[in-house]
């Protein structure tokens, strides 16, 4: 059991209450009435690529969906449990976000598992989850320069998720009407630089 006196999570909460809460209290009280985020972000669960930190976002601005390898599965309303799709539906239909961002990142373990196979101890859920991106990543690995395979495969998963977003009819319709923007990004952990997917299907550094 974690020692409460040395628990880093509780220490962070105490800093929040003493250093941040007094000046943010009014903001949180207003947010208690409801949220109106402008952007929905699909990001990886990786602890090194936190969207709220990267975009210096205040509470209420981002509706964030995080999973292994920032994957968006295709539209499949079959009555089964679809956490990512449920979040997309809520964000687009209920919250009416104006943008969906898919943000991949450097040194992604989920994408690495697509290239090399999932470790033996994560076969129950991780292995079948990442299988949806494995064919795309393996094709990239066959054609890219070995020095570029890691980043190229991470970028390929962002492209795949963007394509899959467009299989959701209520996303495709809003994008076509100019009511919703789809954006692909890749975050370089070591250098702190975001690169954006351009209309030419390349990732270019943001100014």
Give the pLDDT of the chain (207 residues) as one tens digit per residue: 677 788 999 999 999 999 999 999 999 999 999 999 999 999 999 999 999 999 999 999 999 999 999 999 999 999 999 999 999 999 999 999 999 999 999 999 999 999 999 999 999 999 999 999 999 999 999 999 999 999 999 999 999 999 999 999 999 999 999 999 999 999 999 999 999 999 998 999 998
Three-class DSSP category at 6: helix
Phi, psi at 150, each rounded to 5°: -60, -55
pLDDT of residue 202: 94
Q: Which tokens go with 25?
A: 């209290």
Q: How many Å separate Cα 33 from the centre of its chain?
A: 26
Name 203's bridge partners.
197
Three-class DSSP category at 118: coil
Residue environment code for 1-21, b if the CB has 16+ CB neighbours within 10 A, otherwise e: eeeeeeeeeeeeeeeeeeeee
> pTM of this prediction?
0.95
pLDDT of residue 50: 98
pLDDT of residue 207: 80
């Amino acid at each position: 059991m974690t020692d409460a006196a040395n628990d880093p999570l509780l220490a962070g909460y105490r800093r929040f209450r003493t250093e941040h809460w007094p000046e943010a209290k009014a903001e949180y009280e207003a947010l208690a009435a409801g949220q109106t985020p402008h952007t929905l972000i699909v990001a990886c669960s990786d602890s090194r690529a936190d969207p709220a930190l990267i975009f210096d976002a205040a509470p209420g601005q981002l509706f964030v969906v995080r999973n292994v390898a920032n994957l968006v599965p295709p539209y499949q309303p079959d009555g089964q449990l679809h956490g990512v799709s449920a979040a997309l539906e809520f964000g687009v239909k209920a919250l009416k976000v104006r943008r969906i961002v898919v943000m991949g990142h450097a040194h992604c373990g989920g994408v690495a598992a697509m290239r090399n196979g999932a470790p033996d101890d994560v076969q129950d859920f991780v292995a079948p989850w990442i299988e949806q991106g494995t064919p795309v990543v393996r094709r990239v690995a066959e054609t890219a320069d070995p020095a570029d395979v890691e980043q190229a495969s991470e970028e390929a998963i962002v492209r795949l998720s963007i394509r899959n977003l467009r299989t959701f009819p209520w996303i495709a319709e809003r994008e076509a009407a100019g009511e919703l923007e789809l954006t692909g990004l890749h975050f370089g952990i070591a250098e702190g630089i975001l690169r954006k997917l351009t209309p030419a299907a390349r990732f270019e550094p943001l100014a």
